[in-house]
Amino acid sequence: MGNREAAEIMNAPTNDKNMLKALAGEKQARPPFWFMRQAGRYLPEYRATRAEAGDFLSLCYNPELAVEVTLQPIRRYHMDAAILFSDILVIPDAMGQTLAYKEGEGPQLEPVRSSADLDRLETGRITEHLQPVFETLKGLRRELPPEVTLIGFAGAPWTVATYMVEGQGSRDFANAKSWAFSDEAGFARLINMLVEATTEYLLAQIEAGAEVIQIFDTWAGALSETEFNKWCIAPVKQIVANLRAKYPDIPVIGFPRGAGAGYANFAAQTGVNAVSLDTSVPLEWARDNVQTSCAVQGNLDPLLVVAGGEPMRREANRILETLGNGPFIFNLGHGFVPQTPPEHVEELSELIRNY
Ligand code: CP3
């Protein structure tokens, strides 16, 4: 080995965590695992901490309690990664858009639908407003077991824009799409504001200790091919490039949920290290068309963990067998639902660990 190679190895970041190995493209005998919404209402200890915090946003902005709920599933199931406890809508909150989470109804925002509305958003106080989130990440780096990887995250611009424009969850995204179709430059301004804000937010997360970043594009599946390229692939690619300009080695996972065959282009074009597959993506297709460009993560149906038993085990094994021969992280195809029995999560975790 030459001196230069030896020096490179000594200076390399400690990359021995199995999550980081998968994201570097390594196949592993026992794939790493974590679950979307692994912290949440299916755990009684989460419900207790949330009650102590008062409401959901107060929990997101309370570093001590946010650290606690992030650690709760790790203590029970020993996942290979912990995901920061927060929400994708803290970005519109940091921009001064009114946001409330109503019990049983999901998030409610004062809709943003015109250039005049965009003029009222504040973009200068993102990092300052989100200080509690960075405190949570610092606390987690102190408290997490050394083998557990810390994931930071943000929503992708399109998905965050849908909530900002619709003012709530939506079935058809009629307001967001109508704006994008009838006034492309105006909608592009909102997307670009979100690219900037999300870049700043994620850079600060990395500085505070996030080792991996996941970008959630939950509503990517609502876009046709042209719109998918414009509002999903291009902004995510820009954010990845912005992060890499400062942190060339930061691993990024993209989740263009519902993108169908668009997953292949997303994987090839955005520069992400991995894509998170939603439940509908066929496994052999993903192995042959997506895992060829990057690592894959996924994609057990969260409702199978509600059912448990043989149907859950059969499908979990099929996923492990089909995707486990390449770089792979076991996960769900979307987040746990509140009615998930914790003992089924235990059984699933054991199955993956003993694979
Ligand atoms: O454990 C984890 O996964 C980390 C925490 C996390 C939450 N939200 C906590 C949360 C993450 C990564 C998110 C991302 C998020 N938030 C997404 C993208 C991923 C996805 O699920 O598709 C989206 C679309 C949101 C927006 C959002 N937040 C909605 C639509 C809702 C209401 C729906 C619901 O489940 O109540 C939330 C609230 C929310 N975010 C909860 C949690 C644990 C439930 C709040 C509560 O009542 O305690």
Rounded to 5°, angle at Cα 336 from 280 and 266: 40
Domains and CATH numbers, the chain: 3-353 (3.20.20.210)
Series of mean pLDDT values for 10-residue runs along the chain (355 residues) = 45 74 96 98 98 96 98 98 98 98 91 97 96 98 97 98 98 98 97 98 98 98 98 98 98 98 97 98 98 97 98 98 98 98 98 96
Closest CA to 233 of 267, 201, 277, 192: 267
Q: Which atom of ligand 1 is nearest to the CA of 155?
A: 18
State residue 10's pLDDT score: 47
Check if the beta carbon of residue 121 is closer than 8 Å to that of residue 98: no
Closest CA to 188 of 163, 157, 217: 157
Rounded to 5°, angle at Cα 70 from 217 and 21: 65
Q: How far is the CA of 37 from the centre of ligand 1 (A)?
A: 7
**Helix (H, G, I), strand (E, B), or coil: what is residue 130?**
coil
State residue 102's pLDDT score: 86
Residue 18 preceded by cis peptide, ω within 30: no
State residue 11's pLDDT score: 43
Q: Is the CB of 36 under 6 A from ligand 1?
A: yes
Q: Which atom of ligand 1 is nearest to the CA of 103?
A: 47
Q: How far apart are CA 274 and CA 23, in angstroms?
A: 6
State residue 14's pLDDT score: 57
**Helix (H, G, I), strand (E, B), or coil: what is residue 94?**
helix
Residue of 34, 37, 71, 99 to test ligand 1 pocket, by largest number of atoms within 8 Å of CB:
37
- Active-site residue, 257 included: no
Amino acid at residue number 349: S
Instruction: Retrieve residue 330's tokens.
Output: 């076991």
